[in-house]
Amino acid sequence: MSNFAKMMTEIWNEYYNNLEKLATDSTSILEKYLPNKKLKIDYNIETIYSKETERKYMIKQRLLQSYFRGIVLSSYNNTCCITGINIPEVLRASHITAWSDDKTNRMNPTNGLCLSATYDAAFDRHLISFDEDYRMLLSPKLNEYTTNKAFNEYFIKFEGKQITLPKLFLPNQTLLEKHRKRASAQ
């Protein structure tokens, strides 16, 4: 068993077997094992202590999201515009300006990019963006990861390279500029 697997097993055992201690101790188990990481600890002690793991709630559902996805993905030939991956289950119709921020462009296919899940998450959090020639840009916030081998493989490798453009509905330059400004400010 790897060191990581051993650590995760130990964390799970300590969590599961010491719920009462966790409920009264202000030091998080995760803080014990990962002392240098800034963790957002968001839990309710009573919920953890009772071992509840689910709850029901009402959500607001996006209507016509599947229509937007269909148009965007088909415009990009069902292929991630960065990597070329074409596995439908990992492809996302990413909004350049967020659904919640821009009602007028929610269904506009020029407000969409076909990205695989990793790049969709990075784009959504303004960690990557694209210049006026559709080349990938990295947010300055990512500078701390440049020594990581996986980061270099998945991000540095594509920095400055132009995305594969769609056959229809080129990404809107005005929307990309707004996105780019937010990414460079991070």
pLDDT above 70 covers a percentage of the chain that reads 67
Comparison of pLDDT for 180 and 41, the residue scoring more:
180
Report the DSSP pairing between strands 112-116 and 91-95: antiparallel
Top-confidence residue, 163 or 20: 163
Indicate if the pLDDT at residue 127 is higher than 90: yes
Question: Is residue 15 pLDDT above 90, yes or no?
Answer: no
Length of the chain as a residue count: 186
pLDDT surpassing 60 at residue 25: no
Tell me the average pLDDT across 126-147: 94
